[in-house]
Amino acid sequence: MNKQDLQKKFDKKRVRVIVLDNYSIHKSKEVQSCWSRWEEQGLYFFFLPSYCSEMNPIELEWEHLKRDEIAGRMFDDELDLAYAIMNGLDARAQKSGYSCERFRFGVT
């Protein structure tokens, strides 16, 4: 998807908030250099307080994923683990009645 397609897809008047933990990549200089451009496009970031896993819903998802979907399994390599995680996320989404959509960084 190119830049023009993205602009057509997203209404610039709509505000979008992304909740992030304090992982170093989220606050890297490269990412920070994009913040003002993203804010102009209606995209804002909310950083969780440090060490506050109970406020981060992904932590609960990871807990269920590890316990219910991939526990006790062995994987031959990282690719097998990645597929198991994707399949586990799909299974959790189906069980819980929400959608799960994959995206890839750097793909246009």
28-86 residue pLDDT tens: 999 889 888 888 888 888 887 777 667 777 888 888 899 988 999 999 999 999 999 99
Q: Determine the pLDDT at residue 67.
A: 92
Give mean pLDDT, residues 19-33: 86
Tell whether 29 and 44 lie within a shared domain.
Answer: yes
Domain that holds residue 24: 1-51
For tokens 């804002």, the residue is: 44
Q: Are residues 43 and 11 in the same domain?
A: yes
Contact 49, 55 (CB under 8 A): yes
- Global confidence as pTM: 0.47
Residues 15 and 43 in one domain: yes
d(CA 23, CA 9): 29
Are 45 and 6 in the same domain?
yes
Does 98 reside within a domain?
Answer: yes
